[in-house]
Amino acid sequence: MKSKYLLTKDFGLILPLSLVFGAGLAALQDGNYFIGWLGFAALFFLGILALITAWRWAGGGKVLAWMIALAALLRIAAGVAVYIALPIDGYNVPDDKAGYVFTDAHRRDDQAWDLASSGKPLWSAFDKTYYTDQYGGLLAISALAYKIFSPDVHRPLLILLLAALTAALGVPFFYRATHLLWDERLATVSTWLFVLYPESVLTGGAQMREPFLLTFIAVCFWGFALWLKEGGRNGWVWLGIGFVGMLLVSPAMALALMILFGVWIWIRGEKAHLPWQALVAVGSVFFVGILILAWSLSRQHDFGGGSPISVILNWIRGSVKYVIYQLERGSGQVQNVFSQMNPLTQFLFVIGYGIAQPVLPPAFFEPTTLTWHIIAIMRSLGWYMTLPLLLYSPIAAWKSPAGSGRRLWLWLSSFSWIWILICAIRAGGDQWDNPRYRLIFFGWQALVAGYAWLWWRDHRDAWLARIALLEIFCVLLYGQWYLARYNQIGIHLPIMMVIALSLIFVFVVFVGGWVWDYWISKRRRA
């Protein structure tokens, strides 16, 4: 009786809201207004109904309700604002004129509409005709959404709405998994970061694969947490749902997540509790993931045949060489720096530059339009506010009590940094691809950042302040360099001198901090 009352109440609230919201979005798109209105309203209705259901399933509460609501509203608002602003205040390029922040989103969305309106079956998304989606899964999902909700004309905001609602759906799964494995404090802090991180907001309001991947990973996280705590089949069901979604959208990420969970199981000593059916299922997913990844890479690149593993290794080698070539080719300053470095230091520079992206100082000082200034500043501020906590997370993990808990936090912190380094190597200093790849496993970064923040709150360790001071110094140093370069204010130091000063300060902070802590510890023992 109670569930029937709640369902009636939900329908009475969501239906008028969906009609109003659908009317507003339909007014921004071409085509028959009535069809657009019904399409947007229907998708919004189903999405909000799913979010409310997930909120109740996760335990309800005002805090979680705010998290889910803001996750959806911020991503929809950001996506619509960019869609309106870029044609007016962007560059005279096809992406901006069409209202797309990401080139990949523009190309994939166009081809999704082409597939939906072509009369071809949806599985055509997985052949070489539609090359813009490396794996084809998101292309097929987008084409299906167009067939159902927008059969008459291409409405880009429809897939934007689908992405935003899907991204918000991951919030209750992430919150409940963290709460189940740890406590409410960590769940609250980490989930707020998961919801509000600007890169996630911007990408979640676009026709990209990242919002889908973040939610599929959160579903896998919940299934894994449920299995660790309670065992049984329910956890495996949720894991299966999450991994199937990931294999459709990006099988490489499914393989990485399996490695994360595998080491987690080893740390906790849960190997003996794995049934043979589970091992067969995991092995099958891993094998299928390798095959799909190799197939998707070979359909885009000619590697001359070979085994799936050789195809993947050839792609990795070619990607790293191409990234270094593109970084050097695209910037005169980088060419200047590279001319004074050997290959090893060039490689290390690429990694450091990749970690720093999106770089905060040029977000303020590089000349661009107001819309792009706002986007650049928000993305950079989000990363530079999170980075000190990520740098501090292995220190907080190391200082935690000895045992499996410490080993787990060290592993989660290591995984986060391994992924950040992989993204820096894979995409180099690209200010778009690099942060976008890094975002895929942002849930784990939010988790270790939340743990680091709570550890500092409880223990007031000096290392977080030292890391923050180091970041502030580097931002001011490079900010002055960019200010002098673009506005002729101050002394324009040679870039190699700026790099040297920042490295010296890094050395002083870390070595000096360690020596200071050792001296204080020695005095206390005496």
323 touches 426 (CB < 8 A)? yes
Q: What DSSP line would sit under 218-257, residue for residue?
A: HHHHHHHHHHHHH-SSHHHHHHHHHHHHHHHH-HHHHHHH
Distance CA 315, CA 267 (A): 32
Q: What DSSP line would sit under 65-98, residue for residue?
A: HHHHHHHHHHHHHHHHHHHHHHHHHS-SSHHHHH
Q: Which conformational region is residue 403 in: left (phi greater than 0), alpha (psi within -120 to 50 degrees), or beta?
A: left
- Give the residues of the chain that fall short of pLDDT 70: 1-7, 128, 130-131, 133, 270-336, 339, 526
CA-based torsion, 162, 163, 169, 173: positive or negative: positive
Q: What angle do CA 20, 23, 26 make, to 5 degrees?
A: 150
User: What digits encode the pLDDT tens for the residues 347-362?
Assistant: 788 888 889 999 999 9
The backbone torsions φ and ψ at residue 493, rounded to the nearest 5 degrees and listed phi first, read -70, 150
Element (H, E) at 144: helix 137-149
User: What digits encode the pLDDT tens for the residues 174-210?
Assistant: 999 999 999 999 999 999 999 999 999 999 999 999 9
Q: What DSSP line would sit under 159-226, residue for residue?
A: HHHHHHHHHHHHHHHHHHHHHHHS-HHHHHHHHHHHHH-HHHHHHHTSS-SHHHHHHHHHHHHHHHHH
Tokens of 182: 């740890």
Distance CA 53, CA 14 (A): 12
Distance CA 299, CA 201 (A): 32
**Angstrom distances, CA of residue 281 to CA of 258, 277, 285, 286:** 12, 6, 6, 9
Tell me, what's the pLDDT at 106? Answer: 95
419 touches 438 (CB < 8 A)? yes
Tell me, what's the pLDDT at 430? Answer: 80
Tell me, what's the pLDDT at 328? Answer: 53
Tell me, what's the pLDDT at 518? Answer: 85
Tokens of 11: 């329908």
Q: In 301-440, where does DSSP find H-type helix? A: 308-330, 332-338, 343-356, 360-365, 370-399, 404-427, 433-439
* Domains in the chain: boundaries: 1-208, 215-300, 462-525
Tell me, what's the pLDDT at 252? Answer: 83
